[in-house]
Structure 1
Amino acid sequence: MYFFGVASVPVFNSFNKREMVAFGKKLKERQIQEWQGYYINYKLMKKKVRQYAQQIEVGTQDRRHVLKDFSRMLDNQIEKIVLFLLEQQGLLSSRIAKLNELQQPDISEIFQFTDYYVKTRANHPYSQLQQVFKHVGLGAVVGAISRNLHELQEHQGSYLSIFDHPALPFQDPVVDSMKAAVDRLSHSTNFLNFLAQHALIMQEELPTSEEPVDDQRYHFMSLLLNLANTFLYMVNTYIIVPTADDYSMSLGAAATVCGIVIGSMAVAQVFSSVYFSAWSNKSYFKPLVFSSIVLFIGNAMYALAYDFNSLSILLIGRLFCGLGSARAVNRRYISDCVPLKLRMKASAGFVSASALGMAFGPALGGLLQTNFKLYKLTFNQETLPGWVMSLAWLIYLVWLWISFREPYRDTEKSNTAQESTAEPVENDALERGKQPLLLKSEDKQETEDGDGEFDGSDEALKESRGPATSIGSAYRLLTPSVKVQLLIYFMLKYAMEVLLSESSVVTTYYFGWSTSSVAIFLACLGITVLPVNIVVGSYISNMFEDRQILLASEIMVCIGILLSFHVVTYTVPQYVCSGLIMFVSAEVLEGVNLSLLSRVMSSRLSRGTYNGGLLSTEAGTLARVVADGTITLAGYLGEMLRIEAENHRFDALWP
């Protein structure tokens, strides 16, 4: 790094200013903060070069004096680097000497480091170790480590090289332990990381085994209540899918109005996600209580709409359910209150609770097949989902009131912690996003001087590392690649919502399926979520690159969509196969896409109200809104075409 920088100085005049600015930025991004004082001061040297140019232009300095002065300054800079390198070499030499003095290394300590190293490098986007876990070069790594361990043997000098006597006593345990560590990572840690990243709860620092658990903030029962809230909300979302079309027709509407009924919950969630995220800055208990009460009322209204024969009450009830979406609170609790060493498991629990709720909701809806009246209230397959969920939220509210403990909040301590765990300056360029192609004249000079980009003042650092303060500022932190990944997330959620929401209408129209059959089909789709993520996280992601998995899953989603079209005949196997291909492929696509997104998204979006989780939630919710609207619009247009066709046929019969 140093000598590349030194070699570039004599050819300074061959660069134009913009190239030099870009070159300086790259070097700045690669710097190590602890060695800040030992780098060549490019900022100072650029200013000197500009001064020399002005002095030569006005005639106050000649070329000979400029070369002499600049060379002396460069000599001082290089001398500083060389002395620092010698100092570091001495430190390394002393450490190697201490290692050579050891009779035999502590194998447990070595494997403890190996486990740490493998875990921290396996999923980092710039780590070459990723290639190792794609089963390329694993033998070379094991061999290199075994060879170096042999060098530490006390009888190493008895042979010309380790290859003269390769079978030394503790080689086999070393190799076996390395393979075991890789196996644990590939089939356990990797899956947990992969699953946890679905929640977009980004890790800001590495957990350590010595980290104490803050009893004032973390409370297991409170975490369990948040996960229960996540599960119940997903059940609430999908429990009505098997019967929404029948409910719409019983109130005098078309079957495809089920798109509006299902989607109205998502419409309200677009707004509730923002105010719940902001509310969680001050409290977790109060928004969860509010969520439970609103969901209790919303489900009761959904059930009462049948006896009032009112589609409006039905839609208002679903809007209330959407206004009670506390997923932002659930995610923020894990991010803010769960210790780092438990956060990955808690994040995986959040994703698992969502997946299980998605599978359990339709199954429960299909089981509620009774029909009776109690006083003036009707209990049948259309209204029971509302009554059951009202009772569930009432029980949850009591449990919440008794067991939840509001985390201790120390604003000053929290702010200090956030500043101390903020990522170093080398990530600032990524987090600022892409610069405009053309700069204003007053900004151009500031950029060339380096004052704007590399200002090291405390205020500039705090501003560059602080969380986003609005949706607009959060959007500006999104790089083009992140925007593309959010678009992919939007499209796959759109496809999945269309498949799930229209399943009851399509299967009833074409195949005459009962509510129980639809519920079984949807439950089977939901059950595939966790197995698919296990396979992708543990095996497929280790065998192929992420971009290959993304491309393949996108192609498979398109194939599933094409198979779902009615061309000549439409059969049950065709529908089931197309739905399964589409859903499983979308799940694979979602897993890999969110895993990538959690790694490349700005660290400033890992905290605060407008965080990465909120942005992904908004993208997915908007996709659901558009998808459910598409179903209703398609049904409306189809009905209009049918009426028009009947009118033409009537006119033909009666000219």
Structure 2
Amino acid sequence: MGVLATILCCLSLLTLKLCTSFFFQQEMVAFGKKLKERQIQEWQGYYINYKLMKKKVRQYAQQIEVGTQDRRHVLKDFSRMLDNQIEKIVLFLLEQQGLLASRIAKLNEQQEALQQQPDISEISQLREAYREVGRDLLKLLFFIEINAIGLRKILKKFDKRFGYRFTDYYVKTRANHPYSQLQQVFKHVGLGAVVGAISRNLHELQEEHQGSYLSIYDQPALPFQEPVVDSMKAAVDRLTHSTNFLNFLAQHALIMQEELPTSEGPVDDQRYHFMSLLLNLVNTFLYMVNTYIIVPTADDYSMSLGAAATVCGIVIGSMAVAQVFSSVYFSAWSNKSYFKPLVFSSIVLFIGNVMYALAYDFNSIAILLIGRLFCGLGSARAVNRRYISDCVPLKMRMQASAGFVSASALGMACGPALAGLLQTNFKIYKLTFNQETLPGWVMSLAWLLYLVWLWISFREPCLETEESSAAQESTTEPVENDALEKGLKKPLLLNSEDKQETEDGDGEFDGSDGAPEESRGPATSIGSAYKLLTPSVKVQLLIYFMLKYAMEVLLSESSVVTTYYFGWSTSSVAIFLACLGLTVLPVNIVVGSYISNMFEDRQILLTSEIMVCIGILLSFHIISPYTVPQYVCSGLIMFVSAEVLEGVNLSLLSRVMSSRLSRGTYNGGLLSTEAGTLARVVADGTITLAGYLGESKLLNVTLLPSLVICVASIVATCFTYNSLY
């Protein structure tokens, strides 16, 4: 069986290699067309010459094949070409920056004169002149962003074609040099001062008109509403990946954003309905409560039905097992409706919780597990995410995504806390109500009330036609970062299937070519979605799997471990888990508002992984006695670091993921959900299997796989570190 599995694995990898090349080439053609459409015509000669460099890559392949060029010459020639292209962009950027600065200086002189003799009409004209400079600056920011995206794409194309980690070398040598021109493209050094000058002067003109003398640097300053300034700040934040609490929190939802910048924001508000969005968020909250409300009592419930305490792993994990399948059919169902899947979800969850509660009186572990499986089959998180992605206007999507994550975090905290409050024991007729069964009864009542509210208040949005969906998919393309596909020891030229590329690709910039519709549409199955995963994406999914695995082990075995080592009651376990859940929002406030703006995402990613590893190491029972401070502190380090890691990981994942995974049934959100759900299933299964070795060995045995996966993810991150630029 082991040999057969190895053969099947090798065949799968070979098929993956053959298919990804075609998909990648078609995606590059579609990108080239979009790139030309977004260019500012009068600046066209200063953009990165994507078409020329694409031809050069093809020429290099032909020359190496016939033996007229060696690897050293190709790398040197392509590096020089990239340096020339970047220098052209940077010199034009500096020229335009100087022109903007000169215009601002002249306007400043007019503003000084107006301070001596104020005139309302002239002040209005001056403000409009500053706005015009701001609009021109906004065009320049879009110019930089398009060039940065094109540069990432051509680096990725070179790596893909030749199997050489050129991106790693190029970014490492150019980005960290004291005279780096690459930093000008990716970090737009100096333009922040121009943004600040426009913002300050517009604000001062507004304050002078209102009779105030506060500047933008004064605290507290009056509210400053200026659309041009807001657009400039948004463009700068997008270039630097600057974040605040809301958009950092929203990254956890993996709601895809548009890749190529645009100064317009056409958004269809007709599909949006606030109460429907609220019902989606309530569904998310209740489901997370439902998931974690049984954690403090699952071991006691298992023992009361004659099973071992560690069977709690299967009880908790059975919900995740069913969710692996429910995520797929709910995602597919949401292509046709949002209301019907939510109704079905509520009914199935109601039935599942009733069965969970009745298992005590029937004295049946089978009914208990079937009830939890039903709860997992009712997981509509794919519908909740799709509703935000498809029906919430772009201007509100960040807040809605943050609401989705906040609802999940609050549900995670409220579940154990609610379980700690349900400490009672009584009977009504033949039905028992105690700390084991009350979570089921309470959640069944909650889902029944939610179903009534849903039936009354939800409004089904108008579904788009297939044509409009395809058009929308072609305009939503997450940024793809440089994928480090192969090692330096690999040959420079790959097999013949990697070099087959249509001649139509040469005409990318004149819009004469196009990819087949099916090659630009969304993935149509899990298999086709998997074929689109580059090594960089796989590393990010491995990290996501690791953090979910570590968190699930910590949470699911907490009741058994703390009872064995410390004799904690159900209430104590509930308080501990609730406190962990309550750290989510404060941690995201600190990271989103401060840390993510001080360090690069890849730096935070690697540091968080190391901290998770430290938390795991500190959790091992090596030195006796095992103390409460050791367990609590190590658990807190692990949980908080994993929360930080999740936001940064999903942010990077959205950039390296293929555009074909941005929408459709088998989208990036579904893949991340499946990775996280599989991690929970494996973690809960590990707890139950480790239980056969005895509760004394449970902690160390379950932590060992977490440590191995964590170390593997750190190593994989180091190998792909420079691709996350």
TM-score strictly above 0.5: yes
More off after superposition, 548-557 vs 376-385:
548-557
Counting only pairs closer than 5 Å after superposition, residues 220-231 of structure 1 correspond to structure 2 as 220-231=274-285
Once the two structures are overlaid, the 10-residue window that deviates more, 589-598 or 39-48, is 39-48
Secondary structure at 2:249 match in 1: helix
Q: In 1, distance between residues paired with 2:30 and 2:89?
A: 23
Give the SS at the match of 2:533. coil
Deviates more, 1:152-161 or 1:557-566: 152-161
In our comparison, the structure showing a higher alpha carbon Rg is 1
2:25 corresponds to which residue? Answer: 17
Cα distance in 1 between the residues matched to 2:508 and 2:169: 35
Cα offset for 1:638? 2.3
1:438-497 per-position Cα deviation (integer Å, ceiling 9, x unaligned): 655577464689569999666516344321111122222222112111101101110100
SS in 2 for 1:15: helix
Taking structure 1 as reference, are residues 647 and 258 closer, same or farther at Cα in structure 2, changes over 3 Å only? Answer: farther
Q: CA deviation at 1:557?
A: 1.3
1:561 Cα offset (Å): 1.3
Distance of 2:86 and 2:288 partners within structure 1: 62
Change over 3 Å in CA distance of 1:469–1:115 after alignment to 2: closer
Q: Report SS of the residue matched to 1:206.
A: coil
The SS at the match of 2:432 is strand
Q: Take 2:102 and 2:200, find their aligned partners in 1: how far apart are those partners?
A: 21
**Paired residues of 2:32 and 2:509 also in contact (CA < 8 A):** no
**Greater shift after overlay, 160-169 or 385-394?**
160-169
1:305 partner SS: helix
Change over 3 Å in CA distance of 1:505–1:33 after alignment to 2? farther
* Conservation of the 8 A alpha-carbon contact between 1:209 and 1:341: no
Q: 1:542 aligns with which of 597, 612, 623?
A: 597
Q: 1:461 to 1:94 in 2, by over 3 A?
A: farther
Q: Relative to structure 2, which stretch is displaced further, 13-22 or 243-252?
A: 13-22
CA shift for structure 1 position 107: 14
Give a deviation string over 1:551-603, Cα, whole Å, max 9, x none: 22222212211221222321111111111111111111112111222233223
Q: Which residue of 2 aligns with 1:554?
A: 609
TM-score by length of structure 2 reads: 0.65
Rate the CA distance shift 1:231–1:468 in 2: closer, same or farther, 3 A. same
Residues 52 and 546 (structure 1), Cα distance of their counterparts in 2 relative to 1, 3 Å cut: closer
The answer as to whether partners of 1:21 and 1:447 remain within 8 angstroms in 2 is: no
1:104 aligns with 2:117: yes
Aligned-pair distance for 1:223? Answer: 0.3
- Closer/same/farther in 2, CA of residues 516 and 104 from structure 1, 3 Å limit: farther
- Whether the 8 Å contact between 1:430 and 1:602 is mirrored in structure 2 is no
Per-residue deviation, 1:139: 8.7
Aligned partners of 1:183, 1:373: CA distance in 2, in Å? 59
Cα deviation, residue 342, structure 1 = 0.6
Alpha-carbon displacement from aligned partner over 1:212-247 (angstroms, at most 9, x marks no partner) = 764541111000000000000000000000000000
Q: Distance in 1 between matches of 2:650 and 2:456?
A: 35
Give, in angstroms, the shift of residue 509 of structure 1. 0.8
> What is the CA–CA distance in structure 1 between the aligned matches of 2:592 and 2:69, rounded to whole Å?
65
Structure 1's 56 and 375: CA in aligned 2 closer, same or farther, altered over 3 A? Answer: closer
Q: Distance in 2 between matches of 1:64 and 1:584?
A: 46
* 1:608 CA displacement: 0.5
Residue aligned with 1:208, SS: coil
Mapping 1:304-323, distance limit 5 Å: 304-323=358-377
Task: Return the alpha-carbon distance in structure 2 between the equivalents of residues 653 and 607 of structure 1.
Answer: 23
Instruction: Sort the Cα spacing of 1:296 and 1:613 in 2 relative to 1 into closer, same or farther, 3 A.
Output: same
Percent sequence identity is 92
Report the secondary structure of 2:483's partner residue: helix
Does 596-605 or 299-308 show the bigger shift?
Answer: 596-605
- Contact 1:29–1:425 (CA under 8 A) maintained in structure 2: no
- The Cα shift of 1:14 comes to 28
Instruction: Return closer, same or farther for 1:337/1:437 CA change in 2, 3 Å cut-off.
Output: farther
1:187, distance to aligned residue in structure 2 (A): 13
Moved more, 181-190 or 208-217: 181-190
> Structure 1-normalised TM-score?
0.72
Q: Distance in 1 between matches of 2:664 and 2:721?
A: 63
**In 2, Cα distance between the equivalents of 1:617 and 1:422?**
20
SS at match of 1:378: strand
Task: Give the conservation status (yes or no) of the 8 Å contact 1:372–1:378.
Answer: yes
Shift of 1:177: 14
| Distance change (3 Å), C-alpha of 1:205 and 1:486 | closer
Structure 1 stretch 435-444 or stretch 156-165: which is displaced more? Answer: 156-165
Q: Is the 8 A contact 2:243 2:596 kept in 1?
A: no
Deviations 1:341-372 (A, max 9, x none): 01110000000000000000000011101111
Q: Point out the more displaced range, 350-359 or 430-439.
A: 430-439
Residues 564 and 578, structure 1, Cα contact 8 Å, conserved in 2:
yes
CA contact (8 A) 2:419 2:574 kept: yes
CA contact (8 A) 1:46 1:449 kept: no
Q: Is the 1:273–1:326 contact (alpha carbons within 8 Å) kept by the matching residues of 2?
A: yes
SS in 1 for 2:375: helix
RMSD: 12.1
Alignment gaps of 5+ in structure 1: 1-12
1:296 Cα shift? 0.4
Give the stretch that moved more between structures: 131-140 or 159-168: 159-168
Q: Judging changes above 3 Å, is the alpha-carbon distance between structure 1 residues 631 and 463 closer, same or farther for their aligned structure 2 residues?
A: same
Question: Relative to 1, partners in 2 of residues 1:326 and 1:115: Cα closer, same or farther, differing over 3 Å?
Answer: farther
CA distance in 2, matches of 1:530, 1:224: 19
Q: Closer, same or farther in 2 for the Cα pair 1:104/1:489, shift >3 Å?
A: farther
Partner Cα distance (2:721, 2:87) in 1: 97
8 A Cα contact 2:248 2:592, kept in partner? yes
Identify which range, 13-22 or 358-367, moves more after superposition: 13-22
- C-alpha distance 350-209 of structure 1, shift in aligned 2 (>3 A): farther
More deviation in 78-87 or 416-425? 78-87
Separation (CA, whole Å) in 1 of partners of 2:299 and 2:194: 59
Q: Structure 1 residues 216, 463: closer, same or farther in 2, change over 3 A?
A: same
C-alpha distance in structure 2 between counterparts of 1:14 and 1:649, whole Å: 23
Query: In 2 relative to 1, CA 27–413 (structure 1 residues): closer, same or farther, beyond 3 Å?
Result: closer
The farther-off stretch of 278-287 and 430-439 is: 430-439
Counterpart of 1:52 (choices 50, 53, 60) is 60
Comparing 196-205 and 434-443, the one that deviates more: 434-443
| Displacement of 1:143 | 8.0
- What is the DSSP-based 3-state SS (H/G/I as helix, E as strand, rest coil) of the residue aligned with 1:189? coil
